[in-house]
Structure formats: structure tokens, C-alpha cells
Chain A
């Protein structure tokens, strides 16, 4: 038994100003309230401790809204085996305390009990248990109704004069590109949802300009919701984060339980409509739109048509990232996650963005096996192996990836995760969604070709979708080409600006290439999906028919090693090859995103030999486009008979000059700085004004 010196605790001896005690795994309205209280206290410069008091219905993990604040270090968990001294112990959810609580870890001068539901005579027991430990106990009811019941059912307890407010801060609404109107519903218990599937589907208006996002656990009879609706379980996304994304919230439960008052208040404070069953009017009061379930869709449809509906509100719930407590001298961290592609395209693009970020610290959690390359550019890199390399089924791997990414987000208090890849799977979405203060940015490549993008429907869970521009955009008939409205499209993202490329003489000197020789670079990719050794061999053999040609074969850092079996041919490894492009007179290259755009931006005359594998982006489309627009030549693997002719053509300077001029005229701009600015804005969107 801990003996508490209630009177003698001077503030300087406190570990925390406040300690919040409750079942921290219970997601939903209560977790949102706790998160908002943490954020408000942290903004006021208070130190907050959190003590998880498990209850019979405890979940497996801390509620996302709360863990999000912990991740930002606005609040600090107190372990069972520790002891923390604090000013005020705030107990949330007293109805869950069924026996004298084990609170040895928390020593406090006083206690407040937040009563957001009526708990009847049980309040007397809880009051007695807590008074025995903390002395002064004050009840803080959330509403007048709960206040009245407390007074009637637990006479003698001390009740605070005012109802407990829901703290909101002010901040800018987070960025979102090409957004559709998002309408949502939430529910943690079966009774929180409509009574049948017909009522449920009729609630939401239909149309391509709308998306439906649900958070909670759907009862069995509602599982047949339309496939285009998004649903995440409570552990996968913070309620505050969902509310930020929503433009309207619908609440038409079959039951008559406690309405989610904090969520409703947050939406209303943000100037966003809440449509709710009239039965709840006595409990909720003015503010929401009370209507019958069958009227909701038409009311929303009319509202959506009003221009004001789409205007970003000036005030929002304070559930974003940012507080005085979380600020530190170092710029906030942003985690860049390049997926494990065949080549280095995803790594290249994210490096291009990261090196142009000025107000955040880029951290790489790479699925590509390229931490050495990333480090060579001066960035911290942590390799997290992908499912395809491990050879395990994706569904088995996703939860592990989620746990590892969550750990990194927490370790670095990351404000955003920037993913570059084709598959923003559930692990990624849940890891970021469960950290309410962290944004998710998806760098989505175009020219998907016939490649599958199995998680395209996770787009609504991204705060920002950015498509790096494609020169061959008009040839894009991939799966994302019809969904460009979701994305912010920028100029092609290039690792290096033209001015960063070494001049011809310097590049040749560094590579040891004689100034007067014709130098040819062969970079056919990482070697997956096709026989690049055979292709390279054919090209080398044909090049050797010409005198004085210096041949350099590029060895992909994450691909198969280039064999040293061609006498006189040199191998170039390392990164980035583009920095040396000016050393070469012409090149053979695959038409992956980076090689294609970097080559044309550098005006390097090129014979593209695209990789046409189904799982790749549409390299053939890019190569065809380049040839049709006189920017490069296109050698189809089936048309190797043209190889000699093409080489002969490019051995002549006039032909090379023609291609160079065409590329120069193109004036390919670099969109990397634009993306960096968007990423920084997303990461800092929750900073206190």
C-alpha cells in the first residue's frame, strides 16, 4: 500500500502535471476525448502521464487516437512497475472500474473523474475507492443529464460546477488533393449501426464525386455493404483522423445508446454537418441536422451541390499533429518508404524529394535493399524486408510490416509517411491511420500498363496522392489513368537537376574515359524478368563492329551482378548514374521511370530497349512515345535486326545532335521540389498557429 503525502507535493517534484487513468484500449468517442485533452494540455505546456487500467473488455492495443499522441510524445505511458508523481489524476470511464483499482503506479494530490456516461449508484463505490487513495475527488460530468443523474443516484459526491468541455484547438485543415466529398459513419457496437442493410445503403447518396468511409465493427447483417465503400476496424484508424477526412457524418443507429458526443462536437466545430436520427435530439441538443434515415441521402446531395460545402473550414478539431510539448529543436521527421521494385525507381523518386526537403528530417524505412545507396546520399535508412523478397504470403507479412512501421513512427515521432510504390497495403494504411498525428502521402506512379494495383481502393486513406508526371502521359492506359482526379499531378520527379550533372569533361575524367572516344552506356535495368545478359552481349558484339568505342555497362545496385566476361568493357556501379550521363555519346537503356526521364532531361541520345514484363510499368509505351516524338529510338526485343542500323545511325554526330536538340526543346522540368513542398506542408499541417 502506498502512503501518499497528499499535501506536500510541490510542483517541482512532479513527474507529470496530470495523469490520465482509464482503459486506453477502448477506441471511439472516449479515446478521442482523451486525445483532445492530451493535446490541449500539451499545448499549454503540461506534462501528461497515461496509465492503462485494463477492464474486462480491453482490446489488444492502445486506441489509435491515444497512441497517436504518445507517438508525438505529448503524453508518456506509465508502466505497471513504475511510480509517477503527478498533480491531478484524471480517471476516465469510471463505469469500467469494477473493483478497487490497482493504482500503485500513480501518486497524485487530487483526482477528477470524467463521467461521460451515467453509471448509477456504482459512482458511490468508485468515489470511495478513489477517495481512499487520492483524498479529494471531484466528478466532472460531460452533460447536464449525466450531472442530474449523478446528483440523484450518488448523493454526497463532489460534482464540479461546470460540465467537462471538449477542448478544441485551431489549425489549418490538412491538405488534400483532388478530393471527393467524403461521407462517413462510425460505430463500435452492433446497435450503433442501422438496423438493416437496406437502410444502411439508402443512407448514402451515390455518385462518383462521393466516397463513403466507415470506421468501426459492422454487425454480421451489414457485411454486404457496397464494395467501393471503405471500412476500417477501430484499431486501424484514429477517430479524430477519420473526422478530419470526412465532410459529413451520419448517425442512424438502430439502438438508443449514448451518442458519440465528442465526435459530433468535433465535426460541428469544424463546420461540417452531422445528420442524426431525431431520437437523439434530447441528448445532443442543437447543432446537428435531425432527419429521418431515408431523407439523409437527398439532404446530403443538395448540400454537396452548394459551393460552400467544399470550402475548407477555418476551424477544426484539435486532433492533428503539433503541440508545444512535441516541438523540439530538430525538424520533425518524415518517414519515406520506397517499396521493393525491380529497379531503383521508387528509391530514386523518394531520394529526389527527400533531398529537397528543408523543414523536415527525412528518415528512410526502405523495402528496397538499398540502404547503402540511401546512406550515400546522407539519409538515415532502415531496411524493412518486403514480402516478395522473404517469399512469404503478403497477408501474413502485412501485420508484421505494420508493427515495424508503427515502431518507427513512434521512435521518430514522424509527422508523415511518404510511400512510393504500387501497393499501399493494409499494413501501411493501418500503421499510419493508427497514429493520428501522422499523415500518409502516396507517391503513385502512372503508366501502370497491365500491372495490377491491388490496393487502389486504399486511396481514400491517403492524405495526399501525388503522381509524378509522365512525359508519355497520353499513352497511359493503365489502371490509374482514369483516377487522376484523386491525385496532384506534378512535373516528372528527377533525382538531379540538370545543373547537378557533371560536365562532359569532368564526368569523363572521373570515369577515366578518353576525351576523344565514342562512349556508350548500356543500362538495361536490374535484370529481373528478362535476359539482360544476352541482350547486353548482343549489343556489345554489334558495338564492337565500330572502331574506338568505349563501352560501359551499368550494374544495378540491387540487381544481379554484371559479369566481367567482355574484355575491354567496363562496369559502372554505384549511384546515381545520371550524374555521369554527359560523359556518354549515347546509351542503351530500359525505359523505367527514372532512366527514361533522367536520360531525356539530360538530353542523352538513347536507344530504349524496354522491359515489357506484365508486372512492370508500361516501358514499351514510354519508348514508343519517345520514338514517335523524335526524342529517342526504340528497339523492340523482337526487332533486334534493327540493332546494327540504329547503332550505325547514332555513331554519327548529326543524328545524336538531332536527338539532343529535340530533348533540349522538350525542356523537361523537375517536379521534385514541388513534391517536397507538398510533403512538408502535409507533415506540418497540424502545427499550432
Chain B
């Protein structure tokens, strides 16, 4: 038996003890209830006093310096071709629906990566709330937020999953950090099987359009690559499953599957791997007002 709200991704479901599942469910509904209460509060007219803020004795500037120094010890690398140093699972996880769309339950809907790099505080709250509203209306996706903010409250309050990119390790702009960010994005693509990416980050962090492919890892503006570069980029990303593509689309037989996808497959709605749905991506792109891609 699987507890309420849980999804099993593999063949052998593992039961959660009923009491634990019950407590989890109670926790969820309580947090949701309080979150709604909080949202209503400005309208209640209840007196709101400024909160007192407890702080550690350490000076914030000193703390920031220590964090930056610690982050510099880290040297994450992109996966090295031919060196399977880390064995990642071959199945993807399904993120939570969020408190506002719990009726989605176990329904299969695509998972959407929402980049919110560079946002914190109120702008971040606004963006998360906007996604929550959009999700409640369309009921056709589950978001996973990609954030560099250390304050995870906005995601917690909506019951959304988030993945953290601490700036001291992944950014903002130097080359090793960009590689690290790209490597982590590739790993997360596999973990969540994103059907698309919505980039709502701060302008400096955002590429040329709000929607970008999941493999547009570093968030830096870049010109459209030529076909050869695009093929190389796709191949390097590790996100294109050539065997699967050839087995799925017989008309690609005998051709380079990546080139076939770029030149004809994508236009026909073919998928580059079982983890990426081209049609969903294009649909979302157009809903955001972007012109239909070639």
C-alpha cells in the first residue's frame, strides 16, 4: 500500500507505515491551511506588528566572506566522457503538485522547470504565486523551481519542489561556475524529466527568451548556434537518446539522429528522448507569447 500523496516510480512500491503517511498528510493540509490564512491576513484588518528578528552574533559581511571562501573549495566538474564516476538512477521522480493543485493527485502531467535565478524576497514570492495560479488554472504541469535563493519559504508555502544552486558554487558568471551549473542542470533534467523550462529569473540571469530548452544551462544570452554547433551541443549535453530516437522513429534510420531531429524531427513533433516532450515545450512556448519556432 502506498500512502496518500505518494508516487512510486519503480516497479516495487514500498509501503509507508500508515501513521507516518497520516502525519505527512496532516502536515500538508495544515501548512496549506495556514498559508491560506496568511494570504488572507491583509484583508482581515488584524493588527500586524513588525516582527522581531533574532540574529547570530556573526557579522553578515564576515558570514558572506566565509561562505564565498567555502564555495571556492568546491570544484564540480562536468561529467567526463567515458568516466562513469557517479551512477545516477535511470528513472525520474515526480514532484509534488503543490498545495493549490492537490486534486491533480497521481495524475500524469509534465514536469516543468521554472528558473528563478536572481530572484529573492517579494519578486520571488510574486513569481511563485503566479506559477501557482497558472497551475491551478491549467492543471497540466507540476513545477520544480530552480533557485539560487537561500530563502526557500516561497516554495515551502506553496508546497512546491525546488532545487538549489548556491551562488558560491554555481555562479554567477565565471567559467567553472557555469560548467558546474550546466552539469547540475543536466543531472536535474534526468532526475525530474523536465518537459520544458520556463525562465523567469532576473534579467541579468535570463537568456534571450523566457522559454529555453532545459539544456541552455548557464542562463547567459547567446546567439543561435549554427547547425554543426547545435549538433555538438546537443550531443555533449547527454540529453539526446540516439538509440531510443532511432528505434522510435523509423524514418530516421540511416541518418544522424541528432541532425535528423534538428532538421526535420523537431518540426514533426518528435522527441529527442523519452524524457523531453517537444510538443509540450512548443505549446508552452506559444502560450507565453513566443512565435512558433521553426
Partners in one complex: yes
Q: Are B86 and A406 in contact (CB under 8 A)?
A: yes
Contact B156 A558 (CB under 8 A): yes
Please report the C-alpha to C-alpha distance between residue A441 and residue B128 in the assembled complex, in whole angstroms: 37
A410-B86, A527-B30 are known contacts. Are A361 and B70 too (CB-CB below 8 A)? yes
Known contacts A400-B89, A573-B51; is-contact A377 B58 (Cβ 8 Å): yes
Asked if A361 contacts B53 (CB within 8 A), the reply is no
Judged by a CB distance under 8 angstroms, whether A661 is at the interface is no
The CA of A440 and the CA of B258, in the complex, are separated in Å by: 43
Verify if A644 is at the interface (C-beta below 8 Å from B).
no
The verdict on A124 contacting chain B, using a C-beta distance below 8 Å, is: no
Determine the residue in chain A with the shortest Cβ distance to B44: A565
User: Which residue of chain B is the closest to A406 with respect to CB atoms?
Assistant: B86
13 new A-B pairs (CB below 8 Å) besides A80-B82, A410-B85, A579-B55?
A24-B83, A77-B82, A235-B87, A381-B67, A393-B7, A393-B8, A403-B88, A407-B86, A411-B180, A529-B26, A555-B51, A558-B156, A571-B49
Query: B52 on the interface (CB 8 Å rule)?
Result: yes
Contact indicator B164/A383 (Cβ below 8 Å): yes
Enumerate the 3 nearest inter-chain pairs by beta-carbon distance, A residue then B residue, closest first.
A574-B54, A61-B87, A378-B63
Can you list 10 pairs linking A and B with CB atoms under 8 Å apart?
Answer: A374-B150, A378-B58, A380-B74, A380-B168, A383-B164, A393-B2, A407-B86, A408-B74, A561-B35, A565-B41
A569 to B180, CA, bound (A): 46
**Interface stretch among B93-101, B222-230, B275-283?**
B93-101
| Chain A residues whose C-beta falls within 8 Å of the C-beta of B262 in the assembled complex | none
A567: interface (CB < 8 Å): yes
Tell me the nearest residue of chain A to B14, going by C-beta: A395
Cross-interface CB contact of A371 among B60, B72, B164, cutoff 8 Å: B164
Which single member of B13, B56, B73, B156 contacts A330 (CB below 8 Å)? Answer: B73
Q: Which chain B residues border A393 with CB–CB below 8 Å?
A: 2, 6-9, 13-14, 16
> Is B109 part of the contact surface with A, judged by Cβ < 8 Å?
no
A376 adjacent to B20 (CB under 8 Å): no
Is residue B152 contacting chain A, with contact meaning CB distance below 8 A? yes
The answer to whether the Cβ of B23 comes within 8 Å of any Cβ in the partner chain is yes
* A580 CB-CB contact with B under 8 Å: yes
A190 vs B37: C-alpha distance when bound (angstroms): 61
Q: Are A80 and B47 in contact (CB under 8 A)?
A: no
Known: A372-B152, A375-B63. A395 touches B10 (CB 8 A): yes
B37 to chain A: closest residue by CB: A563
* Also in contact, A613 and B23, with CB within 8 A (given A380-B168, A411-B75, A527-B34): yes
What is the CA–CA distance of A631 and B228 in the complex, to the nearest angstrom?
Answer: 75
Contact status A390-B73, CB under 8 Å = no
Q: Is A498 an interface residue (CB 8 A)?
A: no
A79 to chain B, nearest CB (A): 4
Say yes or no: is A25 at the interface (Cβ < 8 Å to chain B): yes
Instruction: Confirm or deny: B163 has a beta carbon within 8 angstroms of a beta carbon on chain A.
Output: yes
- Is A321 located at the chain interface by the 8 A CB criterion? no
* In the complex, number of A-B residue pairs with CB atoms less than 8 Å apart: 250
User: Is B52 within 8 A of A570, CB to CB?
Assistant: yes
User: Could you tell me the distance in whole angstroms from the C-beta of A360 to the nearest C-beta in chain B?
Assistant: 11
Known: A25-B84, A330-B73. A379 touches B67 (CB 8 A): yes
- Report Cα–Cα, A309/B63, bound state, in Å: 48
Are A376 and B55 in touch, CB under 8 angstroms? Answer: yes
Q: Does A122 contact B (CB under 8 A)?
A: no
Shortest Cβ distance from B10 into A: residue: A396
Q: How far is the CA of A79 from the CA of B84 in the complex (A)?
A: 10
A539 to B215, CA, bound (A): 54
Contact of B161 among A390, A564, A571, A575 (CB under 8 A): A390
> Taking the complex as formed, is B247 at the interface, i.e. its CB lies under 8 A from any CB of chain A?
no
Structural contact, B56 and A380, CB atoms closer than 8 A:
no
A315 contacts the other chain (CB 8 A): no
- Is B62 interfacial (CB-CB < 8 Å)? yes
User: Is A560 a contact of B63 with CB atoms below 8 Å?
Assistant: no
Does A394 interact with chain B (Cβ within 8 Å)? Answer: yes
Complex Cα gap A377–B54 (Å): 12
Would A565 and B85 count as touching, CB distance under 8 A?
Answer: no
**Given A380-B70, A391-B7, A560-B30, A574–B76 Cβ distance below 8 Å?**
no
- Chain B residues in 8 Å Cβ range of A381: 67, 150, 166
Residue of A nearest to B156 (CB): A369
From residue B164, how far is it (CB to closest CB) to chain A in Å?
Answer: 4
Q: Which of B54, B67, B72 contacts A375 (CB 8 A)?
A: B67
Check B91 for interface membership: any CB of A closer than 8 A. Answer: yes
Residues in B1-54 with C-beta less than 8 Å from chain A: 2, 5-10, 12-14, 16-17, 19-20, 23-24, 26-28, 30-31, 34-35, 37-38, 41, 44, 46-54
Verify if B274 is at the interface (C-beta below 8 Å from A): no
Tell yes or no: A511 within 8 A of B by CB. yes
A392 touches B56 (CB 8 A): no
In angstroms, how far is the closest chain B Cβ from the Cβ of A563?
A: 6
Q: Is B267 part of the contact surface with A, judged by Cβ < 8 Å?
A: no
In the complex, are the beta carbons of B48 and A564 less than 8 A apart? yes
> Bound state CA distance, A70 and B77, in angstroms?
12
CB <8 Å contact, A411 and B6 = no
Give Cα A39–Cα B19 distance, bound, in whole angstroms: 49
